[in-house]
Amino acid sequence: MPRGGRRVGAGRKRKSAAEHWLSGDAGKRGLALVPSRQESGDVETAEPTKAEVIPIGDAPAVLTAAERPFWDWYSPQALAKGTLTTETAPGFVLLCQVAARRARLWAQVDADGDKYEAVVVDGAGQERVSLKAHPLLTHARGLDMRLEQHLARFGITSGGKAVEDKKPKKDDERAELRRLLAVR
């Protein structure tokens, strides 16, 4: 079962101190003195091909007037990340549709207020007034979650993990061990 990914909390569970002492670091065991085929250059790696990028001004005709502003707002960011291509355009259209629906629902909730008074008549004929949540709140919250998922899919919003620009530190101990164990 694959582990890891961009979600918060994804990845393999940390080892306890005892397990770490027993097994050590994965990067420091199984030292191969013979270089792998990739290190020696025997394996040719093919360059991945990029999909064709859609120009910013070309919003699909499927979008309504309410959905186009979201295309104009999100597409430059997705193009900069390289996630908006001809293959991913239908998903991006769905993102714009969800964003427009979400904006429309929240506008209705804001106009009506997020609470209303419900009058309930009990068996004795007494009227009781109680506060209820707006019935569209659950639908609007669901659209919030869907929009957040779509934005994460296109790399427009943060995935919850810090971006590391630094190169990993070179393992000097491993290089030193290779130098010591080299037989000449």
pLDDT tens digit string along 7-51?
Answer: 666 777 777 777 776 776 666 665 555 555 565 555 555 555 665
Q: Is the pLDDT score of 166 beyond 80?
A: no
* Half-sphere exposure (Cβ direction) of 91: Cα atoms closer than 13 Å: 15
What pLDDT was estimated at residue 175? 78
What pLDDT was estimated at residue 69? 93
Best CA proximity match to 115, nearest among 137, 131, 139, 128:
131
Mean pLDDT score of the chain: 78
What pLDDT was estimated at residue 95? 94
What pLDDT was estimated at residue 66? 94
Residue of 117 and 17 predicted with greater confidence: 117
The pLDDT-based confidence of 177 (bands split at 50, 70, 90) is: confident
Residue of 166 and 7 predicted with greater confidence: 7
Q: What is the 3-state secondary structure (H, E, C) of 67-124?
A: CHHHHHHHHHHHHHHCCCECCCHHHHHHHHHHHHHHHHHHHHHHHHCCEEEEEEECCC
- CA–CA separation, 70 vs 150, rounded Å? 13
- CA–CA separation, 50 vs 27, rounded Å? 32
Least confident of 42-46, 110-114, 128-132: 42-46
Least confident of 33-42, 79-88, 129-138, 153-162: 33-42
Mean pLDDT for 92-105 is 94
Report yes or no: 97 and 67 within 8 Å, Cβ to Cβ. yes
Residue of 176 and 1 predicted with greater confidence: 176
Report yes or no: 40 and 70 within 8 Å, Cβ to Cβ. no
Mean pLDDT for 58-64 is 86
Mean pLDDT for 159-177 is 66
